[in-house]
Structure 1
Amino acid sequence: MTRKEFVEFWIRKLNDEGIKIFPDDFLENAETIHINVPAKTLIPGSELFGTYEVITTDGDFVINAEDYTEAKYYVYSSLQRKPEIKFPKDKKTIPQLVKKYEQYIDSIINDISKDFKKNFPDIKESNPVSDILKAINLIRY
């Protein structure tokens, strides 16, 4: 198996299993409101007086988040590039939702890394995790 075949295998495997969508697959029964955002990928911006800017990849300001975890919530929610995101009415649930999503991503990263080491024990090449996550539109901050 080549590195390229390994990447293709994992992309196919994860797509076949069904990739969880943030926040939809993590909200469970939480009451939500809809917040309009640009249908673009968002990224965390600078900290400003204890709040964090959330900006587009073009650098356009979108919203101020109360903390870094809330900023990550916006970023992870924007991966589908929809013009609105579901936002929990109870902001206290945000850390738990972000943590669950990050644990999900971490488990994927661990599985891919273990499999890569098993299939390519002598290769000093970089692990292709980021290539795979990028291909299936997942990110971890």
Structure 2
Amino acid sequence: MSTATTTWGTDQTTSIAASTVTSGGGTATTGEIDNNSKMSAEVLVEITFHASSDLDVDVYLLRHSGSAYQDVNDNPDHYVVPLDAGNLAGITIPVDAFEVRKFEILVANPGAQDVTATVNYRQSVVTVT
């Protein structure tokens, strides 16, 4: 009898590395994250807020339709990194590979101060023994 086990990659892959996201609507977008031949992805979005930051940071999961990626006007999955002025805050987004094969993460900063964004992810695979 075969046994299937899910294992996570041991290393995080960095997709956005300490990038400044400018105030007043600035954005940063990852490259394509491909879940093909994977079970899932786990995306960690970390935001370093300025001491006088005033608003949460928005995070969007932009799915690939087969010909293009969603944009924020397409009503993509939306997440929020809660404001923690002067500190590092983060969220983890689970992404099921059966629902989302290819995607990008967009970080949007509506606040009055620049923030620094880092996005890392890891993916899981199934091994049958």
Question: What TM-score do the two structures reach when normalised by structure 2?
Answer: 0.24
- Identify, as 1 or 2, the structure richer in strand: 2
Whose relative contact order is higher, 1 or 2, with alpha carbons under 8 Å and at least 6 apart? 2
